[in-house]
Amino acid sequence: MFNSVVLNVVIGLVFIYLLYSLLATIIQEIIATYIGLRARTLRKGISRMLDDDVDNKTLSTAFYDHPLIKYLGENKFHSKPAYMTAQNFSKVFIDLLRGDNVLPGQSYNSLIHQALVAEKTLWGEGVEISPQTLTYIKSLWADAQGDVEKFSGFLEQWFNDTMERASGWFKKKTQLILFFIGLALAISFNIDTISIGGILSNDPKLAAQLADNASVYVQNHKEIGSQTQMEQGVAADKTKILNIDNQFKTTINKSDSLMNTANALIRGDIADTNKLLGLGWSGSVNFHWWSIIGWIITALAISLGAPFWFDLLNKLMQLRSSKKQDSDSSIKTSDKTIPTTVNINTQTSEEAVG
């Protein structure tokens, strides 16, 4: 079991990781939005489904040219959607198969069958369906026994399975981005984990004060914990994962810009913590050869994401509270025991004299 000093040191480090993870998340979100990372990852997933990983991406191009998908993009600079539902996917894919000349009330089972036999979509001028995709689509059509509604359900499941893999691709990319952002922040603010750990270990009062600040922060930012629970729930729906910042979007005030939010975090909690510990290039944490290792450790910690550190901080604060309660309880027990012992001894002495 941790003693109180070690526990406060660990809480202090976790608190610092949390603050800088939040800042890194905001920067990562700016970068992801600017380069259209979610849209790119979604496009990669759709291409893997429809194009057999070949250079001739005719089917996925036709898919993205469908009006339903084409106008899901945010603007001309971000013309490709970052998010689509499984229902949208199946609707558009069935449209491509059946063609654009279907009359109201007309059954299009035969049209889908015709497209699969011809190995070509019937929408517009039509495009060829690549062999492996065609084989899989035919198997879904056979499983559905020619029932369009069942076929649509199978297409939705196919989409959801692919998005589960795509969410893994997206997470790996964001973690890599977070690492480099974390390294840049560690160097810029001189956040050396090794030196900070040494400062806190040698100054128990400072470690306790930082732990108290962390406790106040957790109490004042319970919405972060709510976001963690929400993301765990949404994780079951992989079609939404690309449209969610899994590093705490709700910590960003929706009425403010990302830059304003980052600036407020730097000037607020981060500035207070840095001042308390003397962090930065003009503070008490100076550069040593091991600082490079300390920066890398900090960057790796930041890459784990704010949800991880907030959850861990909550658990550590609960442990700290329980240890404090146990300590208070033992003191009260001790206070009650001493007078009782004295009375017993006094009585014994009097009896002996008598």
pLDDT digits (tens, 9 = 90+) for 41-53: 999 999 988 987 6
Name the one residue in this structure whose structure tokens are 């491509």. 96
Contacts of 133 (CB under 8 A, 6+ apart): 49, 50, 51, 52, 59
Contacts of 185 (CB under 8 A, 6+ apart): 20, 23, 24, 191, 298, 299, 302
- The proportion of the chain whose per-residue pLDDT surpasses 70, expressed as a percent, equals 75
Q: What is the pLDDT of residues 165-184, one digit of tens each?
A: 888 889 889 999 999 999 99
Residue 120 main-chain phi, psi, to 5 deg: -155, 140
Please return the burial class of 319, using the count of CB atoms within 10 Å of its CB with bins 0-12, 13-18 and 19+.
middle
What pLDDT was estimated at residue 223?
A: 63
Residue 63 main-chain phi, psi, to 5 deg: -60, -50
Please choose, from the candidates 304, 47, 86, 303, the residue with its C-alpha nearest in 3D space to the C-alpha of residue 39: 47
Least confident span in 3-7, 65-69, 257-261, 284-288? 284-288
Cα–Cα distance for residue pair 354/351, rounded to 1 Å: 5
Name the one residue in this structure whose structure tokens are 């000349």. 101
Confidence class for position 254, pLDDT limits 50, 70, 90? very low
Domain membership of residue 32 as a residue range: 1-354
Contacts of 164 (CB under 8 A, 6+ apart): 238
Tokens of 116: 């699969």
Selected residue with higher pLDDT from 9 and 342:
9
Cα–Cα distance for residue pair 303/293, rounded to 1 Å: 15
Cα–Cα distance for residue pair 166/40, rounded to 1 Å: 10
Tokens of 112: 């889908």
Centre a 10 Å sphere on the Cβ of residue 341 and count the other Cβ atoms it contains: 9
What pLDDT was estimated at residue 229?
A: 46
Cα–Cα distance for residue pair 248/228, rounded to 1 Å: 7
Mean pLDDT value across residues 135-142 = 94
Cα–Cα distance for residue pair 129/115, rounded to 1 Å: 9
Asked if 294 and 302 touch (Cβ cutoff 8 Å), the reply is no
Selected residue with higher pLDDT from 298 and 306:
298
Please return the burial class of 5, using the count of CB atoms within 10 Å of its CB with bins 0-12, 13-18 and 19+.
middle
What pLDDT was estimated at residue 240?
A: 44
In the chain, the number of structural domains is: 1
Selected residue with higher pLDDT from 236 and 221:
221
Q: What is the pLDDT of residues 116-132, one digit of tens each?
A: 999 999 988 888 898 89
Mean pLDDT value across residues 80-99 = 90
Mean pLDDT value across residues 248-265 = 57
Residue 346 Cα distances to 75, 87, 335, 342, angstroms? 89, 85, 18, 6
pLDDT at 224 over 70: no
Cα–Cα distance for residue pair 137/83, rounded to 1 Å: 23
Selected residue with higher pLDDT from 321 and 115:
115
Asked if 25 and 174 touch (Cβ cutoff 8 Å), the reply is no
Average pLDDT, the chain: 79
Cα–Cα distance for residue pair 211/72, rounded to 1 Å: 46
Mean pLDDT value across residues 252-281 = 74
Asked if 119 and 134 touch (Cβ cutoff 8 Å), the reply is yes
Helices (H) and strands (E) in the chain, counts: 15, 0
